[in-house]
Each structure stands twice: as C-alpha cells, then as structure tokens.
Chains A and B, each alone.
Chain A
C-alpha cells in the first residue's frame, strides 16, 4: 500500500469536494441569472386551474387567495378543502383532512395540513374565521 504524505488528500475526497463546489457554483449561477421567478395566484381562475392540476378533477367552488398571491384555499361543493402554497417557482397543495388544523393569526390564518414536511401555510385573508371554522370542522366530522 502506498504511503501517503500527511498533507496529501485522498483522490476520492478531492473529487467529492470538487463536485460539491461545482454543485454550489451551478446553483449559484441559476440564482445569479435570476432563474425561477415567483409566480402569483392572481385570480380565482388561476387557483381553479392550479387546484385541478394538483388533484385531478378537483372542482373548486369557493376560493380565497392570500394577499400576496403565494397561497390559497379552495373548497369543493362536496366539502373537500385544498390548501395551495408556492413551492420554489411552482405550486404544491394538499387536500385537508382530519389531522389538519387552522389557527387564526393577526393578519389571517395559519393552516397545518397535518404533514410536518409539507409545513404550515400562512395566508393573509380577510375571511379567515370562516375558513378556520370550515377546516377545524374536518376533524370533528371524522370524530363523529
């Protein structure tokens, strides 16, 4: 086995470090080029389309959009409720269920869909108490 000088780096570690540096350089380049704009949920039609894309066939009947357009709540006539949030420069959402919770805050509502990794969604809404009731009733429905 060849004896390595104490200051000499293992080639595999050097390749790993170089690759890691390249990864940060490429991501930095994407950031520097200003790639990935922040899309907004501008109106009900955009939310309706987005909700239908998140859950095929979701037919939003009632919609509230957060003031800065980065999140929304949508409900079907059947009672299903979806929370939508901006994720990077795309949108992601979840159908709320028995483990979901909504807490009113000063400027709106914080929705917890029940999935820790999806995170809570903060919405600046004027009709937050109506939505909070609606969402918190989902757990009661299952308890009944």
Chain B
C-alpha cells in the first residue's frame, strides 16, 4: 500500500510561492497582503495539521470499517489499477463540490469552514487558512459513497491531497484570467475570487475544487465581472486578529443561538443556512442577494424606464 502524502511534499513549493507573491505584491499591489492577517492565516494552516493529527483518526476508523462493505473490489493491489486513479480524482472532486456546498449552506458545516473565508484578503496565504474543527462536522460522510464504490481510503486521501494542492495556486490576485478553454473547464483564480467575495452578486457561488464544470452543472456558477470591485471575507467581517476567536467564533455563535432558541427551532440553527433565524432578524446570503437584485431593478427602472420594458432594447444585437 503506498504511504504517500502529496501535501507534505508540496509545502516547500507553498513557501516559495508565497514569497514570490509577496514580492509581486510589493511592486504591484502592496495592499494585497497585511502582516497580521498573514500571520493568522498561516497559524490556521499549522493548527489545522495539528488538529488533523489529533482528531483525524476517527474519520480514518469509519473509512476503514466502511471499506469492508464495498460494492466493487479492485483487488489486494488496488494501487496498481491505473484507471482507478483518475476516476477517483474526478469523483473525489465531485464529492468536494458537494461537501463544500454543504460547508456554505449548513451552519454546522459553516462553523468549521468559515475559517477559510474570514480573511479580508485574497492571497496565497489565504489558501493555507484551513479549519481546525472540520473533524467535528459530518463532512466525512460525503466520502462514504466513494469508499462503498470500492476506492480505498488511502487512494481517496491521495486524490484529496492533489485536489488541495491544485486549489492553492488559485488563491491569488496576481493572475487575471487563464486561457478561455482553461477557464471553461477548470477552477481558476478568477472563478475562485468570486467564491471568496462578499458582493451580493457573488455570495454562495463557485464551490468547485478543481473542475468548474460542477458549478455549471448544478447551477451555482457565476463569472467574475471586471466592472465590480471584489470585496473579500465574510458578510459580517470579524474586525479582530484574535486567533482563537477567529477559529471558534461561529461555533460560539451557533451554540449560543441553539441555547437561546425555542425548542422547535433549535435544530434549524444547526442545519439551516448561516444567517437564518426563526424571527427573520438576520440576513442569509439569499435575502442579501434578493434585496440587492431588487435595488438593481429599481435603479434600471428609474434610469431607463422605456428600454427596460422593451424586448428589442434588451437584445445585444443591433436592431
């Protein structure tokens, strides 16, 4: 059985790339980095490896047990089945899309994933801003279908490692757009900037890991527009560089809400989307986007009342 962790080998590459981006930032965009923010993001990265070592064993146990019930068997030397590797990589990326989507749409999952989004910056150090508390969600369940199909947990872990490595380089503002064919199929810096944006237009969009086609397939794709400046972070920015608060703030908020809520609503604070409240006193990404869209329509109505109601005027082609 291969004993191989691709992310371990990639660490020196990560460091070199961060240094290179900092030098780019020095000359082209000094505001792309902030030393305290970088320190916090990298501390998140280090802490997540410690948390993984401490709590990852439970997930591994579940996976090994589940593997005993696999539907298809790739044999005792499963790692020699060459076609299983690309297939596993693609299916693992599909799994990533759904676990990531759940990470944004279910508050319990968001409590862990918010860590990756709470920086107001978007640079390669943000890529390393990984959660410490992922083991306390049900994210591991999303991998079970792959295991039951017969992919060994080690194969899935290696595929997942390469997936993470791919996602590192897309956390940058140094690259504008990739060639059109690449943008059409792959996740890119442009697509992922949209994902990290708090602009109402972009909220809860582009969940892809490696292949952007999943977002196009499942209706969550939004292209980056060049005429709107992107703001990064979360809807309610932390306004604090306290590491422990950054790690646990959403867990504390969620548990407080559950504690205070009437019994019939307690589960909803765990399983519904971030921002949901039983009395509608807070915003979700859906309500923010709805309000923003209504305002955009209002602006169009007042500035161009005739053209907006004219089907010909809507057409991009000359009449």
Contacts and interface: CB of A to CB of B under 8 A. Distances in A.
A71 to B, nearest CB: 11
A54 interface: yes
B319 interface: no
A37 interface: yes
A117 B22 contact: no
Given A27-B38, A27-B39, A56-B292, A33 B238 contact: no
Interface string B23-49: 101100011111111110011011001
A119 B120 contact: no
Contact of B35 (A27, A85, A118): A27
A37 B31 contact: yes
B165 interface: no
Contacts of A92: 120, 237-239
Contacts, number: 108
B50 interface: yes
B126 interface: no
Given A26-B42, A56-B200, A87-B239, A31 B291 contact: no
Contacts of A117: 238-240, 242, 245, 249
B248 to A, nearest CB: 11
Given A30-B22, A90-B120, A118-B240, A36 B34 contact: yes
A56 B31 CA distance: 23
Secondary structure dominating the interface of B: helix
Nearest to B246: A117
B237 A35 contact: no
B42 A31 contact: no
A14 B308 CA distance: 65
Nearest to B39: A27
A34 B30 contact: yes
Secondary structure dominating the interface of A: mixed
How many chain B residues sit at the interface, stated as a range, is 35 or more
Interface in B235-269: 237-242, 245, 249
A131 B288 CA distance: 28
A29 B291 contact: no
Contact of A30 (B33, B231, B245): B33
A79 interface: no
Contacts of B297: none
Interface in A109-137: 117-119
A19 B34 contact: no
A29 B240 CA distance: 22
Contacts of A88: 34, 36-37, 120, 241
B249 to A, nearest CB: 7
Interface in A1-15: 12
B240 A26 contact: no
B43 A39 contact: no
B295 interface: yes
A119 B241 CA distance: 11
Nearest to A54: B237
Interface string B276-319: 00000000000010011001000000000000000000000000
Interface of A: 12, 16, 19-20, 22-24, 26-31, 33-37, 39, 53-54, 56-57, 85, 87-90, 92-94, 117-119
Interface of B: 15, 18-19, 22-23, 25-26, 30-39, 42-43, 45-46, 49-50, 53, 120-121, 125, 198, 200, 231, 233, 237-242, 245, 249, 288, 291-292, 295
20 contacts: A22-B15, A24-B39, A26-B38, A26-B125, A27-B39, A30-B33, A31-B35, A33-B22, A34-B30, A35-B32, A35-B33, A36-B33, A39-B31, A53-B198, A54-B237, A57-B291, A87-B238, A87-B241, A88-B37, A92-B120
Given A34-B26, A36-B37, A117-B245, 13 more contacts: A19-B46, A23-B39, A26-B19, A30-B33, A33-B22, A35-B30, A36-B35, A87-B239, A90-B34, A92-B238, A93-B237, A94-B239, A117-B240
